[in-house]
């Protein structure tokens, strides 16, 4: 189905406004909403925050729509159980079915939630309909009529499960990041060249972690698929447990925004052997370059206000190399480096071939 046609159907049943966190399967729909003169899309830092935004619209007489991939359902459980359901706030959940059993192979972080998605919805008594590539406009309209009728009567959430192939493929949206900046790949290569081999490097979910895995070779590294926003906290635990090693955390703007509170926790406990690097391209690149809200965020000032001892923003490779060389001669971290980068990733970038357990065991051996 053409995403714009689906949006028209949603609008005809008075669904909207929209809030959410992008999934690659929803890129076309988000793009259509943002191009619409009648609908609004609110980019949230997390799916749980989306539910809060939706609650505000529900209290104002609207029937909001929350967009997410099924991985994000974990962030939604608490608002569902303590906000939408007990307060009876009408909400339409549009959830992509990543890691669908017997479906196309997907990234490892989607497998468990893909298996348990329908069970979770049933556990919370949330009715749902499944949208697949066999749906036409007429049958989809009928499902939306059913969802609208349920929400009007029960005043509680209803879910639409979007299978891969339901939406027609469209080109990625154009990133609003200035392409004059260097790409992330060059910074990762430079970092690995200029730091000690016994300094582990951690890569956040998405292209950052995959590029790190591709480039690191035998250098100790940890790639975190899924668990978006958790990498700085993993770095804190590792740094405190291994005070003789220096850890480099490679983060992203969207990932950091999802759990921005980790800045205050790190700033409070001040691990002296941790370097927190944030690659900022103003978008969720791995899901199709949908914009984050990073263009209005001063990450460097935030980190400094939260208690990081050394904070800097750089926008070129020379400044980054000079700064990382200086870090190797000092121990009084934590350090925070904000880097503006262009979009674009390595050609033919693969996913790690090892299982999470294999990767964990290798990382522990290297430690």
Asked if pLDDT for residue 179 goes beyond 90, the answer is: no
State pLDDT tens for residues 286-305. Answer: 888 999 999 999 999 999 99
3-state secondary structure of 1: coil
Domains with residue ranges and CATH for the chain: 3-162 (3.40.50.970), 184-366 (3.40.50.970)
Asked if pLDDT for residue 177 goes beyond 60, the answer is: no
CA distance 182 to 163: 36
Asked if pLDDT for residue 140 goes beyond 60, the answer is: yes
Region 122-138: mean pLDDT is 95
Assign 103 a pLDDT band (cuts: 50, 70, 90): confident
Beta carbons of 291 and 283 less than 8 angstroms apart: yes
DSSP characters over 7-54: HHHHHHTT-B-EEE---GGGHHHHHHHHH-SS--EEE-SSHHHHHHHH
Assign 314 a pLDDT band (cuts: 50, 70, 90): very high
pTM of the model: 0.93
Give the rounded percent of residues in the chain with a pLDDT score beyond 70: 97
Assign 172 a pLDDT band (cuts: 50, 70, 90): low
CA distance 281 to 134: 36
Region 312-331: mean pLDDT is 86
Report the candidate in 205, 223, 213, 232 with the shortest Cα–Cα distance to residue 23: 205
Report the candidate in 365, 323, 56, 96 with the shortest Cα–Cα distance to residue 191: 323
State pLDDT tens for residues 239-291. Answer: 999 999 999 999 999 999 999 999 999 999 999 999 999 999 999 998 889 99
Asked if pLDDT for residue 81 goes beyond 80, the answer is: yes
Region 138-160: mean pLDDT is 97
Assign 327 a pLDDT band (cuts: 50, 70, 90): confident
Confidence at residue 40, expressed as pLDDT on a 0 to 100 scale: 97
- How many other CB atoms sit within 10 Å of the CB of residue 214? 19
CA distance 75 to 323: 36
- Average pLDDT of the chain? 93
Contacts of 281 (CB under 8 A, 6+ apart): 175, 177, 181, 184, 252, 253, 340, 341, 342, 343
Asked if pLDDT for residue 352 goes beyond 90, the answer is: no
According to DSSP, residue 206 is labeled T
**Chain center to CA of 175:** 16
Helices and strands in the chain: count of H runs, count of E runs:
14, 14
CA distance 242 to 240: 6
Asked if pLDDT for residue 312 goes beyond 90, the answer is: yes
Confidence at residue 175, expressed as pLDDT on a 0 to 100 scale: 57
Asked if pLDDT for residue 174 goes beyond 90, the answer is: no
Sheet with 247-252: strands ordered across? 221-223, 201-203, 247-252, 274-280, 335-340, 310-314
Q: Tokens 């906290």 label which residue?
A: 233
State pLDDT tens for residues 19-43. Answer: 999 999 999 999 999 999 999 999 9
State pLDDT tens for residues 185-236. Answer: 999 999 999 998 999 999 999 999 999 999 999 999 999 998 999 999 999 9
DSSP characters over 304-363: HHHT-SEEEEE-SHHHHHHHHHHHTT-----EEEEEE-BS---TTPPPP-S-HHHHHHHH
Report the candidate in 240, 325, 326, 334 with the shortest Cα–Cα distance to residue 278: 334
Beta carbons of 351 and 210 less than 8 angstroms apart: yes
């Amino acid at each position: 189905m053409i995403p714009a046609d689906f949006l028209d159907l949603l609008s005809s049943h008075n669904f909207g406004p929209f809030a959410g966190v992008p999934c690659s399967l929803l890129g076309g729909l988000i793009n259509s909403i943002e191009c619409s003169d009648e609908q609004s899309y609110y980019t949230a830092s997390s799916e749980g925050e989306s539910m809060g935004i939706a609650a505000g619209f529900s209290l104002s007489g609207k029937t909001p729509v929350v967009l997410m991939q099924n991985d994000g359902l974990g962030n939604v459980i608490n608002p569902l159980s303590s906000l939408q359901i007990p307060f009876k706030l009408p909400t339409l959940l549009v959830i992509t079915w990543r890691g669908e059993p017997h479906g196309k192979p997907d990234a490892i972080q989607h497998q468990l939630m893909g298996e348990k998605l329908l069970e979770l919805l049933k556990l919370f008594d949330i009715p749902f309909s499944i949208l697949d590539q066999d749906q036409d406009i007429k049958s989809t309209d009928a499902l939306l009529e059913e969802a609208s009728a349920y929400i009007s009567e029960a005043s509680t959430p209803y879910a639409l499960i979007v299978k891969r192939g339901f939406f027609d493929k469209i080109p990625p949206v154009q990133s609003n990041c200035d392409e004059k900046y260097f790409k992330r790949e060059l910074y990762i290569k430079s970092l690995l060249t200029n730091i000690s081999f016994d300094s582990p490097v951690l890569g956040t979910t998405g292209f950052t972690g995959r590029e790190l895995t591709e480039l690191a070779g035998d250098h100790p590294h940890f790639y975190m698929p899924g668990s978006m926003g958790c990498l700085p906290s993993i770095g804190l635990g590792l740094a405190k447990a291994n005070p003789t090693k220096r850890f480099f955390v490679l983060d992203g703007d969207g990932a950091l925004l999802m759990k921005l509170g980790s800045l205050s926790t790190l700033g409070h406990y001040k691990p002296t052997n941790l370097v927190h690097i944030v690659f900022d391209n103003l978008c969720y690149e791995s899901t199709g370059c949908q914009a984050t809200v990073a263009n209005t965020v001063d990450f460097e000032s935030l980190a400094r206000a939260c208690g990081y001892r050394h904070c800097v923003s750089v926008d070129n490779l020379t400044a980054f190399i000079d700064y990382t060389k200086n870090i190797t001669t000092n121990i009084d971290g934590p350090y925070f480096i904000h880097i503006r980068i262009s979009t674009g990733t390595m050609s033919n970038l693969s996913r790690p071939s090892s299982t999470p357990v294999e990767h964990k065991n290798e990382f522990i051996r290297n430690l």
